[in-house]
């Protein structure tokens, strides 16, 4: 068994998922408390906390999808920030389509 499979099995345990969710909530709360202070300190707590919550909560995932449908451009930025594999696949498909459209046809002369 590879290490990746071992980690995946470990993170699939319910108590680990609940612990990660709780850690995410704690990080978001700390970020909200730290946010009024000068500097970007709140971002360093809120972003990882939100990522942990999204990773472990179906409720949060459903609301995230609604947000992405409501604000597609902001959804693209949040996908990028969360390094979501599905977002990376969609970006690669968009890039391939753009390159396909931009290529001049072989029969035309310039």
**Residue 1's pLDDT is what?**
67
What does pLDDT average to in each consecutive run of 10 residues of the chain (110 residues)? 79 83 91 86 85 84 83 72 72 84 61
**Residue 26's pLDDT is what?**
93
Q: How far is CA 26 from the centre of its chain?
A: 19
**Residue 22's pLDDT is what?**
92
How far CA 101 is from CA of 69, 87, 94, 108, in Å, comes to 26, 21, 11, 14
Residue 37 sits at the vertex; the CA angle it makes with 32 and 39, to the nearest 5 degrees, is: 105
């Amino acid at each position: 068994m590879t290490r990746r499979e071992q980690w995946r099995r470990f993170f699939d345990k319910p108590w680990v998922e609940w612990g990660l969710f709780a850690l995410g909530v704690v990080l978001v709360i700390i970020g909200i408390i730290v946010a009024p202070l000068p500097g970007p300190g709140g971002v360093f707590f809120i972003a990882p906390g939100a990522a942990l919550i999204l990773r472990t909560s179906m409720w949060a995932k459903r609301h995230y999808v609604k947000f992405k449908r409501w604000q597609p451009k902001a959804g693209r930025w949040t996908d990028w920030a969360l390094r979501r594999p599905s977002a990376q696949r969609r970006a690669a498909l968009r890039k391939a389509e753009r390159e396909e459209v931009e290529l001049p046809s072989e029969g035309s002369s310039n």
